[in-house]
Each structure stands twice: as C-alpha cells, then as structure tokens.
Amino acid sequence: MNSRKLFILFAIFIFAIFLATSYSPELAIRRHLFFDSPTQSFTCTINKTNLIDKEYGQQYTIKGFIEPESRGEISFAYVKKSFIGMYHWSGGGSGP
C-alpha cells in the first residue's frame, strides 16, 4: 500500500471519528477536552444542567477535569446543536 492510499485512509478514519463524536453533546464535550488531556477526557463526569443560554446553548457541568497548562479546573461547558444536527463546544471554563 503506497503512502498516498495510507494517508487517504487515515484522513477518512479521522473524519469518521469527528462525525461519530458530533451526534451527542457529551461526546462533543469529550472530543474538545481530548485535545487538552486525553486520559482525563474519558474519566471526567459530565452532567446536563437545566440552564439553556440563548447565545451558547445547553450547559453541562464537568467534574474531575484539570487543565494541564493552567492547573485550573474546567467545571462547565456549553454545547450547541447545528442546523444539520451535529453538536459542538460553544464555550466553557471554570466559571465567573
């Protein structure tokens, strides 16, 4: 298998993972957190709250995720649903 075919297969695989993690709010949050700390993104607890912000979307609380660079806890996230039904991280952090 030449390197071009291998690259195309790898790109298709990455795109498929992106699509698969976009159809659930929790998976969209975990996908965003994965790029900060892969192990913590799978072990943290994510819970839906009753707060829906008009600009940012549905709020979720996150427990057990410490950002490696700042050593601060990311305690909440906002997720919005696009017009085609895919979820994405629209904001979050440690709070006010």
Dump pLDDT digits (tens) for 29-76: 988 898 888 889 889 999 999 999 999 999 999 998 988 778 888 889
Which of 2, 1, 67 shows the shortest CA–CA distance to 35? 67
pLDDT at 58: 94
pLDDT at 16: 75
φ, ψ at 40 (rounded to 5°): -70, -30
Contact predicate 29/93, CB 8 Å: no
pLDDT at 66: 86
pTM (2 d.p.) = 0.77
Q: Which two tokens stand for residue 74?
A: 């990311």
Helices (runs of H) and strands (runs of E) counted in the chain: 3, 4
**Chain mean pLDDT for the chain:** 86
Residue 22 CB contacts under 8 Å (≥ 6 apart), including other chains: 28, 31, 86, 87, 88
pLDDT at 20: 66
